[in-house]
Amino acid sequence: MNVLTIDDNEMTRTVLRAMLFGTAHHVCGEAANGKAGYELALKLLPDVVLLDILMPDLSGIDVLKQLKEVMPQVVVLMVTGERDTDTLRQCVAAGASGFIVKPFNAATVLKALADVALRAAGAARKPAH
């Protein structure tokens, strides 16, 4: 599974890359801001995007909306320390598949990725009506 990380915090990107190293999840790219991340997503077409909510140039919610418009199948997990229910609701309404809440550990990240992979596999097996 190809994963793109979009987060303005270099340490967060580094930690996520280290946590995913040697797993079934390959970090295919990283971006330090929303605009660059959106453009990279269009170029790399990742399976999963790990997306920070609070970024200086373009918020994660705005990036999420733009991604879902052009890549509706992409799985987006919001990476955040934000616990404001209104913000979290906005993310879900815009198409977020889940959340990785800071501070996180490898088990939390891998479980979130496994959960969305399981849901995607289940959705693929459902017959079309």
Note the pLDDT tens digit of each residue in 44-61: 999 999 999 999 899 999
- Tell the CATH superfamily of the 2-125 domain: Response regulator (3.40.50.2300)
pLDDT tens-place string over residues 63-108: 999 999 999 999 999 999 878 899 999 999 999 999 999 899 999 9
Q: Smallest Cα–Cα separation from 59: which of 40, 25, 82, 27?
A: 82
Beta strands in 1-129 (DSSP E): 2-6, 26-31, 48-52, 75-80, 98-101
Angle at alpha carbon of residue 18, lines to 14 and 21, rounded to 5°: 135
Amino acid at 129: H
DSSP symbol at 125: H
What pLDDT is stored for residue 118 in this prediction? 82
Asked if pLDDT for residue 129 goes beyond 60, the answer is: no
Cis check: omega of the bond before 56, within 30 degrees of 0:
no
Residue appearing with tokens 């809440």: 101
